[in-house]
Structure 1
Amino acid sequence: MYVELLGPFQAGVGETSIVPTAGKPRNLLALFALNPGILVTNLVITEELWAGHPPRRATSAIHAYVMRLRHALASALPCHGRGRPDAKEILQTVPGGYVLRPGECFASDAADFRRLVDLGNRRGEAGDRDEAARLLHAALGLWRGPALADLQPGPVLEREILALEERRRTATERRIALDLELGRHHLVLDELTELTARNRTHEYLHALHMVALQRSGRRTSAIELFERLRRDMEKGLGTEPAAWINQLRLTVLDADANLDNPLPKEIPPVYGDRPAR
């Protein structure tokens, strides 16, 4: 069984899709697929499917949706000597809700993404920047577009999608920082140009872009980028750039500065969190 969540939603067994066409069963399967082996309670299902305002027969409706998913799963499962595996053992009813237990032959791009990011962060913390960058490149390469791009998510899936997208953002920042530390500034310039254009008040991305520009011999462009950031922050947020990125501006202005070393320590090295002001 496979599920693909990092883009349009896909799930199936072998070549056979088990994704329902109807909205609510489709969202329910996505919710189970995002939480394999974890109890998904009836309360959580109700919040997702009806935004906390269920119809009177919500329990019966949930049961019907689960039965539909089990039927699709049973139809897709291969036959063995004693017949098809029991779909009820894969999508189990437990007190308070349901648990998807797909077994060992289960592939999920979201689970692979989380695993590779965790490995990459650990390798980075251990000082192996090449392997950390390779792992983060592999993790980010699993994305095919926005998470669950073709669903109309309810409140629960919206939170799940935001969490995945946030982890994608921080992994991207960390991977770019590693590429810069490894001297690959020319390879990330186009990507940073796009990212800073879309995130015009994001200080950390602008810091990465400034370093890449400076290392590419474009000191003037780096300073112009900072000035654009300053204007956008003043106009949009009513605030000035933080002291740490202003210090980076001064370093870029210094013709004798050497930014071939790892990024300034004021820039967070692992998770992409904003530095304290």
Structure 2
Amino acid sequence: MEQDSGSNDNGSTYSMVIAGHYHESDTYSIARPDGMSDWLITYTLGGEGYFEADGCEQRVSAGDVTLLKPGTPHRYGTPKGEIWDFVWAHFTGGFMDASLLPPDALTIKHIEQQGLRERIYHGFLRILSDSREQGAYWHELCLGALREVLMLLAKQQSSGFDPRIEETLYLLAQRMQETVRVEDLARSVGLSASRLSHLFKENTGESIVEALNRMRIKQAALLLAHTNRNAAEAAHDVGFQNYNHFTRQFRKYVGVTPSEFSRQSAQTKE
């Protein structure tokens, strides 16, 4: 059974992160009529679970992240006939950015994008590993991974984009150096190529090609400013096969040619 963290026998606050990975049958049930002294975050990997707070029961399934606020009377567990596979962590809110913590007693967010699911899961894997280490910097590492998970949730909520467009942007960033085909992106997010192109433009205000070029040019500018890569090398590194096309796109987004940008960056370092 999970434990509360955040206070000792004398009632004084201390810093602790407790985490685990459970695979529970329908005999699993936790009831806390007085709530907890800390936050609980869970991420469902498979099967089904339930949470009850304020007299309302809600089910969770794969891709759902749940946050329970300290002091919230609650009950949760595995519904009859189900198996619940989930990871969880208790943490003290005083050691986390308040802006990342929701105001509601019980918050459940469904993550549709596969890329975001993978990032959240990997964040939990780091929390699990670091919370067991108990060595130097373990707590800071746990908080860093927790903060990343909470920031990913906040980013999804604040972007206002259709989840399929969020997933497309993630895929573009991941495949920036490759030859990207709209048909392949559309297949990955479950849309036709024409529908994805329309929805992407509607959400972001730019085409998929424009978004990809902007990402590539931004990365190329960073390479030119902070490494010894020349313009041709930077163009190749970010996925441009045609140098003249790279130069035109660089001037469009940065306002100067790659060579001029490199000279200006060198002068600022002198």
TM-score, with normalisation over the residues of structure 1?
A: 0.27
Q: Which protein has greater RCO, CA pairs closer than 8 Å, 6+ apart?
A: 1
More strand by share: 2
TM-score, with normalisation over the residues of structure 2?
A: 0.27
